[in-house]
Structure 1
């Protein structure tokens, strides 16, 4: 079993009341059990979000052909396209 360490946590009265109610109802033996379960759930949620983010990054990388662009490259490409559009409009106006 992992080594346990005692910490002190300050929380609002409403949260303390919920912790104590969970123990008094018999759902948990101690307030520490409630907190440990909440932290396990939080940790699981964090891991799930990171997995989803990694999957999304993989999808985006595949959609881009695996190439990643710097902000300077994106900005330069945007300027190039704006110039291209402006040139086409100028050609149409001259015609």
Structure 2
């Protein structure tokens, strides 16, 4: 195993029991292995969240950079939505 640093982690009784149970069942060789895999999953999830945040920021900026919107206020947006909804309803009939 490469260099490792030992740290102490406090778990709720329920989480500690869960870790002990999966080790006892043979699914994992040790509690360290359980925590290691959980941290790897968390790291991947966090990376994905950060990528999503970056994408939203990029799209937000793209919207700002594209200039003023077509509609002047919320009422204009509602009016356009009603118009489009009417067109969809008429096509379905």
TM-score bucket of the superposed structures, by smaller chain: 0.5 to 0.7
The 5 A counterparts of 1:36-75 are 36-65=36-65
Stretches of structure 1 that go unaligned for 5 or more consecutive residues are 68-95
Unaligned runs of 5+ in 2: 68-93
Distance 1:60 1:9, change over 3 A: same
Match of 1:78 in 2: none
Alignment of structure 1 residues 14-25 onto 2, 5 Å: 14-25=14-25
TM-score, normalised to structure 1, is: 0.65
How far is 1:3 from its partner? Answer: 1.0
Deviation at 1:6, TM superposition (A): 1.0
Provide the C-alpha distance between the structure 2 equivalents of 1:43 and 1:14, rounded to a whole number of angstroms.
23
- CA shift, 1:18, in A, is 0.2
Cα deviation per residue 1:34-63 (whole Å; 9 max; x = unaligned)? 000000111111100000000011101101
Residue 5 of structure 1: aligned partner: 5
SS at match of 1:4: coil
Rg larger in 1 or in 2? 1
TM score, norm. by length of structure 2: 0.67
Cα RMSD after superposing both structures = 1.6
* Counterpart-to-counterpart distance in 2, 1:66 and 1:40: 39
